Amino acid sequence: PDRYDPAVIEAKWRERWLADRLYHAPDDDPRPKWYALTMFPYPSGDLHTGHWYAMAPSDAAARYRRMQGYNVLFPMGFDAFGLPAENAAIKRGIDPKAWTYANIDRMRGQLRMMGASFDWDREVITSDPEYYKWTQWWFLKFYEKGLAYRAEAAANWCPGCRTVLANEQVIDGRCERSDDIVERRFLTQWFFRITAYAEELLRFDGIDWPERIKVMQTNWIGRSEGATLQFRVDVPGVDEPLRVFTTRPDTVYGATFMVLAPEHPLVERITTPECREAVDAYRVQASRQTEIERLSAEREKTGVFTGAYAINPFNGNRVPIWIADYVLVTYGTGAIMAVPAHDQRDFEFAQKYGLPVIPVFDHPEIDVTKPLTAAFTRGTRMINSGPFDGTPAEEAIQRVTAYAAERGFGEATVTYRLRDWLISRQRYWGAPIPMIHCPEHGIVPVPEKDLPVLLPENVKFDPTGQSPLTQVEEWVNVPCPIDGKPARRETDTMDTFMCSSWYQMRYIDPHNDEAPFRRELARKWLPVDQYTGGAEHAVMHLLYTRFFWKAARDLGLVEGDEPMLRLFNQGVILGPDGNRMSKSRGNVVAPDEQVAQWGADCFRCQLMFVGPWDQGGPYNPTGMAGISRWLHRLWSLVVDPVQLTDAPDSPAARDLRRVTHKTILAATQDIEHFRFNTMISRLMEHSSALQRAREAGPVDRAAWEEGIRTALLLTAPLAPHITEELWERIGGPYSIHQQRWPEADPELARDEEVEIAVQVNGKLRDRVTVPADADEALVLDRVRGLERVAAALGDRAPRKVIYVPGKLVNLVV
């Protein structure tokens, strides 16, 4: 019997596609290009349902563009450096490289099972020397441009991963990977100067990205307008001014004390002997707190006096300098002028330590001559502010800033919350930073011709200690590139987000040994037209890759300002219980089992059918039966006999063609906007209509064949195997995936209409045109809107409604 057997046809077609390189995107193809990119996986072991959920619909969208006539580049690869490989090595004694590449082999096989139209000729693996040679090359270019630098800074140290982390990898004070509480450590590290692009990264010109991601990036960059003011420090021998960043320079006459972050470099030099012990103790205590704890508004404010004073340059007032942990060393200048009357944190601090509170604005509802019970931010006019008294609030900031600028003790400043991107990792399984430390010449870049700096193999993992790289003497010891005398390699490796910041560039020329890619190919393929992936990368990968692109543009390597023109974030697929799939909950759906039972086409469609793609939701395997029934019906529509006739003008033929053309219209809109679930519903309705037509007797040949052809073409992006098989059976030219997307004839799609006479008490008042299949409710709705009918009715409500379908309505009053 000619049964639909997914296992047989799916394997058959996948082999054929691969052998024919059907999905290879040629560089020299005259069709317009479309670069569709889905985030590449980390080779963690097995491809899970989340990967399928991200990739199968992306594949459907890429296939649709191909059928629209684009030369589609849809590549796949592996983000292969990173900690899990190393953790496996430490825990189980497995070589990270062996672990990673074994996982890649398994996952590549699983990816192929999906039947996705990846161009496998372009696969990249970021841990291959042929790839990371160029990651290192980028580092050298950034260094030449002054975009990479080494500095001592308070860094996020994860005790669990035993490495520093970028700010973006610290979520609520914890490591995004291990969940350990992150500590602050002063370390010398490599940074990328992402802050040089802060202003530009706030603009999203010409790109169609989800609002949510843009807002998250904007908040992360955290632009603040204000002023930097300079206070003289009243301590002999300290000449440099104390600089503070404030968004409210107009409150400067109310600054009754100063606060430095405990880590501020001036603390050491200004603290008086009497205060030293308390200050030191406080600094130790503060270093143990996370940033989140320190910033929490509910937390009781603490601090200690340094014994030193500063002079307010506006009025000469001498104010005490304190240290407190609610001031962060990493923001602004790491020091503030405290204005307790107008800043609630400062107010609480002043209350606790008995410091004066001086309001410098009046307020219509607050008596500013009495002690305040809380800080208030906005007032009407300036008071207690010398020459500025009476200045309206709207002009205050501008005038005070101008005054300071004229006199040389301040200036307007824009500050960003964004910090430079810390890219050093004290770990093994990453791309080595291509730098050499020479006792004579300092930091010397590895010459380009010596790239890649290969990762040594068979290193020893010491579960308590340092990065294994520091232990490989024969690797660490190198001659200085300048004079050949003994020098040492940098032993830090790069944050793996560096590898994924430019992978989309490498796919366009993945095996190039002379450059990261050829310019002419960049002009041909870049930027990415449609990027799809998870929103969890909002302020990490998706921000870094924008930075990286802009830097590459300024190096003259790519054109245009943005790397990805359109972004779509799929939702999260959950277990049937509504929880995130996890082994410990036992709610994991293993794709391989689903595919074995139902076929890849069925699993793909079921994932697309569960709900709107951007919302995700629980995955219920019991729904598979419904999708499977639909695919079987499609099969039987093609394979089982049908009685045909030639009756193109019959109402039945017209009806069938109308459904077919309406389906084209709706399905095209749906796939255009990634609404796969409603698209599938439409396709199901269409196959039911075909089924009904077949059961009703002989079907017009042309309408039937058009219906079948269309059903297969529209379903092809979603279920690529079954449609290829059936396409062959109806004699279509190989391959269905190279056919044009069907176009609807709007005339044929138009609903048939009828004119209905509208009577009031039997007298004709008007006529309405409605779809032929309109029901009574719709007709009455239209009738109610008719002016002439309303006039005839007056304020009387119809007692009775007589409706003769397709002919007339009579309202009886």
Binding site for ligand ANZ (CB under 6 A): 224, 245-248, 251, 261, 327-328, 331-332, 334, 336-337, 339, 342-343, 415
Contact at 8 Å (CB) between 110 and 46? yes
Residues 6+ apart with CB under 8 A from 687: 630, 633, 634, 637, 711
Query: By C-beta, is 247 or 761 nearer to ligand ANZ?
Result: 247
CB atoms within 10 A of CB 702: 15
Shortest Cβ 220–ligand ANZ spacing (Å):
13
Query: By C-beta, is 163 or 256 nearer to ligand ANZ?
Result: 256
Contact at 8 Å (CB) between 96 and 143? no
Query: By C-beta, is 224 or 636 nearer to ligand ANZ?
Result: 224
Phi first, then psi, for residue 28 (nearest 5°) are: -105, 45
Question: What is the C-alpha to C-alpha distance for residues 142 and 76, in angstroms, rounded to an integer?
Answer: 26
Shortest Cβ 224–ligand ANZ spacing (Å):
3
Contact at 8 Å (CB) between 509 and 521? yes
Query: By C-beta, is 332 or 468 nearer to ligand ANZ?
Result: 332
Contact at 8 Å (CB) between 191 and 422? yes
Question: What is the C-alpha to C-alpha distance for residues 55 and 49, in angstroms, rounded to an integer?
Answer: 10
Query: By C-beta, is 334 or 798 nearer to ligand ANZ?
Result: 334
Query: By C-beta, is 243 or 782 nearer to ligand ANZ?
Result: 243
Any alpha helices (H) in 733-775, and if so which ranges? 746-749
Three-state SS string over 418-451 comes to CCCEECEECCCCCCECCEEEECCCEEEECCHHHC
Tokens found for residue 141:
């270019």
Query: By C-beta, is 385 or 545 nearer to ligand ANZ?
Result: 385
Shortest Cβ 87–ligand ANZ spacing (Å):
35
Query: By C-beta, is 10 or 343 nearer to ligand ANZ?
Result: 343
Query: Left (φ > 0), alpha (ψ -120 to 50) or beta: where does 206 sit?
Result: left
Q: Scan for tokens 């500590």, then name that residue.
A: 183
> Concatenated DSSP letters for 342-379?
T-HHHHHHHHHHT------B-BTTB-TTSPPSS--S--
Residues 6+ apart with CB under 8 A from 224: 245, 247, 414, 415, 416, 417
Shortest Cβ 119–ligand ANZ spacing (Å):
46
Beta-bridge partner residues of 32: none
Shortest Cβ 331–ligand ANZ spacing (Å):
4
Shortest Cβ 352–ligand ANZ spacing (Å):
17
Shortest Cβ 111–ligand ANZ spacing (Å):
45
Shortest Cβ 357–ligand ANZ spacing (Å):
12
Question: What is the C-alpha to C-alpha distance for residues 56 and 38, in angstroms, rounded to an integer?
Answer: 10
Shortest Cβ 218–ligand ANZ spacing (Å):
14
Query: By C-beta, is 250 or 490 nearer to ligand ANZ?
Result: 250
Tell me the helix, strand and coil percentages in the chain, rounded to 5. Answer: 40, 20, 40
> Concatenated DSSP letters for 270-307?
H--HHHHHHHHHHHHHHHTS-HHHHH-TTSPP-EEEEE
Query: By C-beta, is 313 or 334 nearer to ligand ANZ?
Result: 334
Shortest Cβ 275–ligand ANZ spacing (Å):
21
Question: What is the C-alpha to C-alpha distance for residues 489 and 455, in angstroms, rounded to an integer?
Answer: 12
**255 closest CA partner among 270, 244, 266:** 244
Contact at 8 Å (CB) between 443 and 209? no
Shortest Cβ 415–ligand ANZ spacing (Å):
6
Shortest Cβ 786–ligand ANZ spacing (Å):
59
Query: By C-beta, is 329 or 637 nearer to ligand ANZ?
Result: 329
Query: By C-beta, is 398 or 691 nearer to ligand ANZ?
Result: 398
Shortest Cβ 297–ligand ANZ spacing (Å):
12
Query: By C-beta, is 333 or 424 nearer to ligand ANZ?
Result: 333
CB atoms within 10 A of CB 297: 9
Residue 209: Cβ-neighbour burial (10 angstroms; 0-12, 13-18, 19+): buried
